[in-house]
Chain A
Amino acid sequence: MSLLAASSPRGGMLLFGHANKVRKRLFSSCTASLVPLISFPPRSFFIAPANYLLFGPGTPHRIMAAHATFSSACLWLLFILHSVGASQIASFVNEHYNAPQVIRYDPDTKLIMYSLCNSNGTPVFPANSSAAFDTKPYTPIVGTHISLTGYIDEEKGTLFVSHRHRFGYYMLTIVPETAVFPGGGRRHCGRNLFL
């Protein structure tokens, strides 16, 4: 059972889940005031009338995704995951490119892989070391949970990247408790990455 959520830069909220029981309870308990209640068959993906995304099956772990705009204020992205723990994948919508920015922790390679940040429309997810964060020397522990959110900084984009928006990404994982951090001490701590 896993849940993930992230905020959309325009004020929407994204939720991720793949346990049927969680879906029903989650939607009935906390979304009624935000968006119309939706339902969908288990273990299948929701086909949105306006937009549709599909990852795989070319990746080692098949990932399917769909997203839909239900109102101008709320954008929902739903991931149906196969063989991937939902807490080992995270995403938020890059609205400038109209594509989710996706990251995933691969327990086999111990890499945090990402979809290419210039993906336009459909995210490009190489699912190999060619698109993975360099997390050394603070490599996340095996089984780490990850979370992600992000922003679009139009002002900085105008200043530092000519006529382009600047995208910010924030990722948090758990690193080994033996890691040594600036300021001294060995403790549990998060790792945060953003542009």
Chain B
Amino acid sequence: MEEIFSCDLASGLYVPQSGQQFRINDRGPVPRTQTDLSALLLGKGGGYQVFYEAVNGSISSLRYKSGERDGWFYSGLVDPHQHENSSLAAGFAYTDNIHLVSCGSEDDFSTVVGSQRKDKVWDIRMPS
């Protein structure tokens, strides 16, 4: 779901706008209810990318790009390995260089770092 809020510069409050609801594409793995979320803004005109943990423990992502495939679409599997109850953090310095970090729980600590190459393939590493 998507909803538009405008910033009232006088009061600093957000005012909801009507008639701006969009459907997120339901293709791709179903998100786990308690998944962590990480959203990226992919530069000017690049849209958004959202990372989440699926019910099978893998990490997938959704993309949004204005005017493309009805807005939101499933953009593919990032890492098929288990990430149950992990925390996700993603960021990018340039539009072709996205970094994703996943950390497991306190008891089962592990860190996975992923970087998306220019050919859109994810390079997943597990630092020692």
Contacts and interface: CB of A to CB of B under 8 A. Distances in A.
B50 A3 contact: no
Given A5-B38, A190-B1, A133 B101 contact: no
Interface string B28-63: 001111111111111110001010100000000010
Most chain-B CB neighbours within 10 Å: which of A3, A12, A177?
A3
Main SS of the interface on chain B? strand
A181 interface: yes
Given A26-B111, A170-B41, A133 B89 contact: no
A9 B41 contact: yes
Interface string A131-169: 101100010010101111111000000000100100101
B14 A117 contact: yes
B54 to A, nearest CB: 10
Given A167-B7, A190-B50, A194-B2, A15 B91 contact: yes
A49 interface: no
Given A13-B92, A25-B127, A30-B101, A117 B13 contact: yes
Nearest to B105: A1
A28 B3 CA distance: 38
A151 B66 CA distance: 14
Pick the 3 closest A-B CB pairs, nearest first: A116-B12, A13-B91, A5-B89
